[in-house]
Amino acid sequence: MAKVLEGPGMGLLRKWGIQTPHYVVVSSPDEFDQLAKVHDWLQTNKLVVKAHEALGSRFKLGLVKVGLDLSGAQTAVREMLGRTIETLTIKQVIVSEAVDHKNEYYAAVKSTREGAEIMVANCGGIEVESNWESVKRLPVEIGGSPSDEALEALSKEAGFSGATGQNMVSFAQKLFVCFENEDAQYLEINPVAQREDGELIALDAVTLLDGDAKFRHPDWTFPFAAEFGRAYTKNEQNVMSVDSKVKGSVKLIEIPGGDIAMLPAGGGASVYYSDAVVARGGKLANYAEYSGDPPDWAVEVLTEKVCSLPGIRHIIVGGAIANFTDVKKTFGGIISAFRKAKAAGKLQNVKIWVRRGGPNEKEGLAAMRELQQNGFDIHVFDRRTPLTDIVDMALEAN
């Protein structure tokens, strides 16, 4: 699941016919000043300035300013950009028009085991949190879509009537179409504002997409938002780019300060090995995985990034017994990256621990063992060695 920041999220809503305020996302005061010269709404409308980061409680942190004129917005942009909140530095802000409205509502679509669920409420903003029982729900089966009659019943149940009720039916229908076509897992609009003319407009958006579906969406040119209080590193972004292009999967998250680097095969094994390292008192330098039989070049890119992690003393290349991932092929990518790293002066005093089983495991493990002849401090084990034994060996060798 990949989180999308407000600006790109608003862009997706617009794509499917949902009204949003005018907005711009900027990364420097000069950029904002230039945009202000070409957008009339920035010069004439009241404005809202918000930090464009995956950060909660922005209002309490002073990272949301409302009701500003252009001069006030320029000041707010300058004050927010570059500000550091714990480990996160504000690198972008979003400036949007303040929309006059008379009512606030709530609408969302979320993925469920059975398909999806459409949710609407006759209250929005912070009020919906204390009145969650007012949220009414419409389940939609996998592959299905909501009928007009079902949406009308949902709108009526939530307390809407007349023209407002019909507008909510149309809004919910468009939101579901966006959800389906954009491979979303969660879309939440809070608040859905009712303008003075009765039309509904999305003032904010929480957007979670299926990141693995990026290859189907050439217009997803925006970066996904990190979920852990900092921006993605360049290495993480590079691996995400590779992941979006290949069959199978490669993942990387860097963890500063650790000395045990992980290069496990399979999502389950990656969590298993990481838990084992932490449980035994080790310090992880990263989270990583490759799975679904990715091409050797993709695994090579992932391995290159793992080898470049600072301060590592061990690399654990672990995995269970694969069903269809070719051990020889994927190990070929790892071995190639190991050789490049060593030639570049990396991996000095780094011990490598390997445990794997699966298709072509004998050939893959043999190729790993051959690295011993090239000066690698590598220890290779087959499927008969318990998974956590190599973790114990690594920590005992510290």
When mean pLDDT is compared across 4-8, 109-113, 125-129, 274-278, the lowest value belongs to: 125-129
Q: Is residue 226 part of a domain?
A: no
| 351 and 299 together in one domain | yes
Residue 330 CA to residue 84 CA, distance in Å, equals: 40
Q: Is residue 389 part of a domain?
A: yes
pLDDT computed for residue 267 by the predictor:
76
Domain boundary among 151, 183, 214: 214
Is the distance from CB of 351 to CB of 388 less than 8 angstroms? no
Q: Is residue 59 part of a domain?
A: yes
pLDDT in tens, 113-155: 999 999 999 998 878 888 888 999 999 999 999 999 999 999 9
395, two tokens? 């920590």
Domain boundary among 214, 246, 267: 214
Domain extent for 253: 232-396
Beta-sheet pairing, 351-355 with 314-317: parallel
User: Domain containing 27 — which CATH number?
Assistant: 3.30.1490.20
> Comparing 86 with 389, which gets the higher pLDDT?
389
Q: Is residue 5 part of a domain?
A: no
User: Domain containing 257 — which CATH number?
Assistant: 3.40.50.261
pLDDT computed for residue 227 by the predictor:
66
pLDDT at 284 over 80: yes
The mean of the pLDDT values for the chain is: 92
pLDDT computed for residue 58 by the predictor:
80
Q: How confident is the model at residue 268 (pLDDT cuts 50, 70, 90)?
A: confident
pLDDT computed for residue 61 by the predictor:
85
Is the distance from CB of 99 to CB of 203 less than 8 angstroms? yes
Total domains in the fold of the chain: 3
pLDDT computed for residue 177 by the predictor:
98
Q: Is residue 2 part of a domain?
A: no
pLDDT computed for residue 257 by the predictor:
92
- The DSSP line for 238-261 is HHHHHHTTSSSEEEEEE-TT--EE
Q: Is residue 127 part of a domain?
A: yes
pLDDT in tens, 220-244: 988 888 766 677 889 998 998 898 8
| 259 and 326 together in one domain | yes
Is the distance from CB of 251 to CB of 289 less than 8 angstroms? yes
pLDDT in tens, 358-376: 899 999 999 999 999 999 9
Is the distance from CB of 109 to CB of 146 less than 8 angstroms? no
Q: Is residue 1 part of a domain?
A: no
| 277 and 327 together in one domain | yes
When mean pLDDT is compared across 55-59, 136-140, 181-185, 346-350, the lowest value belongs to: 55-59
| 88 and 107 together in one domain | no
| 248 and 352 together in one domain | yes
Q: Is residue 359 part of a domain?
A: yes
pLDDT computed for residue 193 by the predictor:
96
| 301 and 324 together in one domain | yes
| 243 and 164 together in one domain | no
| 73 and 131 together in one domain | no
84, two tokens? 């550091």
pLDDT computed for residue 266 by the predictor:
84
pLDDT computed for residue 324 by the predictor:
80
Domain boundary among 58, 81, 97: 97
Whether the model pTM is above 0.75: no
Is the distance from CB of 265 to CB of 325 less than 8 angstroms? yes
pLDDT at 384 over 70: yes
| 346 and 376 together in one domain | yes
CB atoms within 10 A of CB 62: 13
| 327 and 375 together in one domain | yes
pLDDT at 213 over 90: no
pLDDT in tens, 308-320: 999 999 999 988 8
pLDDT in tens, 22-62: 999 999 999 999 999 999 999 999 999 999 987 777 878 88
User: Domain containing 209 — which CATH number?
Assistant: 3.30.470.20
Instruction: Give start and end residues of each alpha helix (H) in the chain.
Output: 6-15, 29-38, 40-44, 70-80, 127-130, 148-157, 162-181, 234-243, 267-279, 296-307, 327-343, 361-369, 389-396
pLDDT in tens, 160-174: 999 999 999 999 999
pLDDT computed for residue 229 by the predictor:
62
| 261 and 391 together in one domain | yes
| 260 and 381 together in one domain | yes
What is the rounded average pLDDT of the residues 326-340?
94
26, two tokens? 């900027």
pLDDT computed for residue 80 by the predictor:
95
